[in-house]
Structure 1
Amino acid sequence: MTLILTAGPAEEPVTLGEARAFLRLDDTGEDGLLAALITAARAVLEGETRRAFVTQSWRLLIDRFPEGAIVMPLAPVAEVTAITLVARNGESETVDPALYDLELGAEPPRIHPAAGGGWPAPKKRAGGIAIDFTAGYGGPASVPQALKHAVLLLVAHWFETRLPVAFEGANEIPFTVGALIVPYRRFRL
């Protein structure tokens, strides 16, 4: 299973102004650093929670269809735009949406073969099935406040601690940030 970002978010869950206000910065001299920290914090927290915060497009490549449902690796999933079978020669065939059912509101989101049907056979052995989908809560206003606050706390932590540290636990998410994201974490089984 390979997950590829095809179009990142158009905006971040928190603005530079919100980060400046949170850090009590009056000038814009650190805006370049703050923008980079906001993007990095969002990416780290999305990885920790296995959620997309702001709308973004992804492609999931799998080798074969599972016995039952395809469990999506990210949540929330807004839509599945296409399921495509890719042949060795590069030709592709789009799977008819009537052949599958979407359970996007489930946790985790799933794609099932339609009732009474099954999945079509892949056209090649490795990475022959591409699932294009859109994930995220929507725009920044739709991102849960706890996740936005976690981004701000992590930005503040990195802003104040600019040098790498080498002690046990240095690579861990700060406790307060971890506490905010606990309800949104999707665990791997």
Structure 2
Amino acid sequence: MADLVAGPAAEPLTRAEAKAYLRIDHTDEDALLDALVTAARRRVEVETGRALMEQTWRFSLDAWPLRGIIPAPLSPVRQILSATVAAADGTPVALPAGALTLVGDRAPALFRVEPARVSAPLVRHGGIVITFTAGYGPAAADVPADLVQAVRLLVAHFYEHRDGPGDTSALPAAARALLVPYRVVRL
């Protein structure tokens, strides 16, 4: 389980782009549209296991894996910001340089640890903490066009079904089709 440390600085779809797509020419629902864009991005991220815009995440482990390979909780991973192991008193101790490396050119991304270069955590739960950045990049142009289109379709779906008894939990077929090739499969 990963925790969001710092969310994206921008969304993959601007308010102006959402308004143009929905053919809205007033400002009465700007706050609603902002919320819908964020909700749509988050839904795409959950459905695919990918972070669209650059954001910072943290997760913890109780022990190092025997094979030294840790699947990242989401992709694409851009960089490892920090990695610590808890000392007996719970104080985080930074890993030596190069002891944890990123294999980020795949989904899911992997963290590779050299067991001979790291110590075991001396606390029972969550003694290993890894903080990393994930996402395609800081700009909307960095996000694949299919994923941005899925966000657009979800914004329209959420906007259309905001008041009625319609089912907003089901993805529209077009959005679902756009997301299929981007789903990260975990074993």
Name the TM-score, length of structure 1 as normaliser.
Answer: 0.91
Q: What stretches of structure 1 move > 2 A for 4+ residues in a row? A: 86-90, 116-120, 163-167
Note if 1:184 corresponds to 2:178.
Answer: no
Identity of aligned residues (%): 43
Give the corresponding residue for 2:169. Answer: 171
Give the corresponding residue for 2:141. Answer: 141
User: Secondary structure of the equivalent of 1:80?
Assistant: strand
Give the corresponding residue for 1:67. Answer: 66
Q: What is the rounded CA distance, in whole Å, between the counterparts of 1:25 and 1:103 in structure 2? A: 43
Note if 1:152 corresponds to 2:143.
Answer: no
Give the corresponding residue for 1:83. Answer: 83
Q: Is the 8 A contact 2:7 2:56 kept in 1?
A: yes
Give the corresponding residue for 1:107. Answer: 107
Q: Is the 8 A contact 2:108 2:186 kept in 1?
A: no
Q: Is the 8 A contact 2:90 2:122 kept in 1?
A: no
Q: What is the rounded CA distance, in whole Å, between the counterparts of 1:48 and 1:121 in structure 2? A: 34
After superposition, the C-alpha distances for 1:88-144 in whole angstroms (9 at most, x for unaligned) are 633110001322332111221111124x83642112111111000000000211001
Q: Give the Å deviation of 1:28.
A: 1.6
Q: Which amino acid aligns with 1:124?
A: V
Q: Give the Å deviation of 1:44.
A: 1.1
After superposition, the C-alpha distances for 1:132-189 in whole angstroms (9 at most, x for unaligned) are 000000021100111111001000011011136377xx62211111101111101232
CA change 1:35–1:48 in 2 (3 A) is same
User: Secondary structure of the equivalent of 2:18?
Assistant: helix
Q: What is the rounded CA distance, in whole Å, between the counterparts of 1:71 and 1:45 in structure 2? A: 20
Q: What is the rounded CA distance, in whole Å, between the counterparts of 1:185 and 1:140 in structure 2? A: 19
User: Secondary structure of the equivalent of 1:117?
Assistant: helix
Q: Which amino acid aligns with 1:21?
A: A
Note if 1:31 corresponds to 2:33.
Answer: no
Q: Which amino acid aligns with 1:184?
A: Y
CA change 1:74–1:22 in 2 (3 A) is same
Q: Which amino acid aligns with 1:178?
A: R
Q: Which amino acid aligns with 2:109?
A: P
Q: Which amino acid aligns with 1:14?
A: L
Q: What is the rounded CA distance, in whole Å, between the counterparts of 2:6 and 2:179 in structure 1? A: 24
Superposition RMSD on alpha carbons, in Å? Answer: 1.7
Give the corresponding residue for 1:122. Answer: 121
Q: How do 1:19-58 residues align onto structure 2 when only pairs under 5 Å count?
A: 19-58=18-57
For structure 2, the 5+ residue unaligned runs are: none
Name the TM-score, length of structure 2 as normaliser.
Answer: 0.92
